Amino acid sequence: MNQTLYYGKTAIALHWIIAALMTVNVALVLPIDLFPDNWDRPVIDTHKSIGITVLGLALMRLLWRLSHPPPALPSSYRRWERHASHLAHGLLYALMFALPLSGWMHDSAWKDAATHPMTLYGLIPWPRIGWITSIEGEHKEMLHDLFGDWHTTFGYVLYVLVALHLLGALKHQYIDREPEFERMGL
Ligand code: HEM
């Protein structure tokens, strides 16, 4: 169970594993144009595998959170800070799902999906989303672009929210002098 002031071990582990995997996933794909061309496939395949792993962990994290209420916010938080932190945390939860799902949808609408089956880490066969792969022709191309745009946009929202999340944590730790980092196991 989460104790009164600090998150429990499982919540802390899930927070840091997901944060690390999402960071690696962004760091892998953003500089892709700088890598040699023959790196594209292995890099994107690894990106997809990590993304699906995040989706599974996000599901576990949501279920854990619903069954293990988080510790209360310190009483020094002002009203607007409570609202802002709940909003930011809610949106970060939504992004843990929206990013992998939009990526999976984008990939399922890829015209070459049939000739490039998806495997997790080159080991475990993984399905595409059936109703998307079964769409034909131009319509599929349009959806591929649309889902790709969603995926990119969710990425931008993530950068902004993570920046705010970090600034908030730094403020509470160093300006308000609350044991903010300790709440998350640091
Ligand atoms: C933690 C989950 C994920 C994160 C944080 C993430 C993040 C990103 C970001 C930031 C980009 C670059 C977008 C741009 O600037 O245009 C990208 C591209 C892409 N992602 Fe994801 N993604 C995730 C999961 C997935 C999943 C699960 C799949 C597919 C199953 C996927 C497939 C792709 C593909 C195909 C691209 C385009 C790569 C290219 O051709 O340049 N992503 N992703």
Which atom of ligand 1 is nearest to 152's Cα?
13
Q: What is the pLDDT of residue 4?
A: 73
Instruction: Please state, in angstroms and rounded to a whole number, the distance separating the CA atoms of residues 53 and 10.
Output: 17
Half-sphere exposure of 3 (CA within 13 A, CB side): 7
Instruction: Please state, in angstroms and rounded to a whole number, the distance separating the CA atoms of residues 129 and 90.
Output: 26
Rounded mean pLDDT of the chain? 95
CA of 167 to the centre of ligand 1 (A): 25
Tokens 């997790």 sit on residue: 120
The answer to whether the CB of 11 falls within 8 A of the CB of 58 is no
Cβ of 103 below 6 Å from ligand 1: yes
Q: Nearest-CA neighbor of 165 among 74, 83, 88, 81?
A: 88
Q: How confident is the model at residue 134 (pLDDT cuts 50, 70, 90)?
A: very high
The answer to whether the CB of 113 falls within 8 A of the CB of 147 is no
Instruction: Please state, in angstroms and rounded to a whole number, the distance separating the CA atoms of residues 141 and 172.
Output: 47
Residue 2 lies in a domain: no
CA of 101 to the centre of ligand 1 (A): 10
Cβ of 26 below 6 Å from ligand 1: yes
Burial 57-96 (b: 16+ CB within 10 A, else e): bbeebeeebeeeeeeeeeeebeeebeeebeebeebbeebb
Rg of the chain on CA atoms, in Å: 19
Q: Nearest-CA neighbor of 89 among 103, 77, 107?
A: 77
Domain around 172: 9-183
Instruction: Read off the tokens for 51.
Output: 């993304």
Instruction: Read off the tokens for 50.
Output: 């990590």
Residue 147 lies in a domain: yes
Residue 4 lies in a domain: no
CATH of residue 128's domain is: 1.20.950
Residue 39 lies in a domain: yes
Q: How far apart are the first and last CA of the chain?
A: 18
CA of 108 to the centre of ligand 1 (A): 12
Q: What is the pLDDT of residue 3?
A: 53
Residue 1 lies in a domain: no
Residue 3 lies in a domain: no
Residue 157 lies in a domain: yes
> What is the count of structural domains for the chain?
1
> Chain centroid to CA 125: how far?
22
pLDDT digits (tens, 9 = 90+) for 160-182: 999 999 999 999 999 999 999 99
pLDDT digits (tens, 9 = 90+) for 79-126: 999 999 999 999 999 999 999 999 999 999 999 999 999 999 999 999
The answer to whether the CB of 148 falls within 8 A of the CB of 117 is no
Instruction: Please state, in angstroms and rounded to a whole number, the distance separating the CA atoms of residues 34 and 121.
Output: 23
